[in-house]
Amino acid sequence: MIDPLELDRLSTLLAKNRTWANQVTAQNPEYFQKLSSGQSPGFTVVSCCDSRADPNTLLQGNLGELFVYKNVANLVGVDDLSLQTALQFSIESLKVRHIVVFGHHNCGGIRLALGAQLQGSPGDWLEGVRELAYDHQMFDDQTACASAGAIDRKVDKLCELNVIQQVRNASQSPAVQAAWIRGEPLAISGLVYCLRTGVVENLNCTISSQDEVDSVCFEAMKAICVRYR
């Protein structure tokens, strides 16, 4: 049987929703009517599930501006049917022209992949992140013996590298490839959010054609490696 306190917490959430909806309607009586007539978001955002990494709040997006897809560690799996369906829908039906991979520092998923988390195992989901860490020789030193500060820094570095890798993965998505072949303008960018400051940084890995993928992603990863040297 569920703890009555949990039902109270749920009731509190719903009460906050009613208060908010009433306030918005009082300020703009047409707001929800207009919102319900359709959506035309400017960006498709792939973000981490982390409760602190909410793109709408951090980028001050209004409802209807960001088409947000969330999973652990903001991964863009080319074989991920759910994510690929969301990408396809946003590109082909909503005519979104900019995809953003939205990573964040101190990501629990990245920490897990790096073996820097006390509990849990990375599992299959994070295998690609582990491969990325291997590629960058991030398992070479003994993470278990490193200082907490050094581990945090390594986690943040992998968080950023992972964003670039996911931008690359997004570029290989069937819906993106099809849009580029049709000659439609479509850009993919990577951002990272610093939990300690609230600031979102551009990782300068924006690509808008297949030709740019290798060079832009290589330069962006190189810049991260230099910054964390």
Q: Tell me the pairing of strands 187-193 and 200-202.
A: antiparallel
Q: Interface with Zn ion includes 114 (CB under 5 A)? A: no
Among 44, 45, 50, 133, binds Zn ion (CB under 5 A): 50
Question: Which residue's CB is nearer to Zn ion, number 46 or number 87?
Answer: 46
Evaluate whether 74 touches 103 at the Cβ level (below 8 Å): yes
What is the length of the chain?
229
Q: What number of chain residues touch Zn ion (CB under 5 A)?
A: 4
Least spacing, CB of residue 108 vs Zn ion, in Å: 5
Shortest spacing between CB 107 and Zn ion, in angstroms: 3
Residue ranges with strand state E in the chain: 43-48, 66-71, 98-104, 187-193, 200-202
Is residue 190 helix, strand or coil?
A: strand
- Asked whether position 156 contacts Zn ion by CB under 5 A, the answer is no
| Residue among 159 and 216 whose Cβ is closer to Zn ion | 159
Only one of the segments 2-10, 40-48, 82-90, 208-216 lies at the binding site for Zn ion (rule: CB under 5 A); that segment is 40-48
Distance of CA 22 to CAs 16, 17, 19, 30, 39, Å? 10, 8, 5, 12, 21
Q: Which of 75, 87, 101, 107 binds Zn ion (CB under 5 A)?
A: 107
Residues binding Zn ion (CB under 5 A): 48, 50, 107, 109
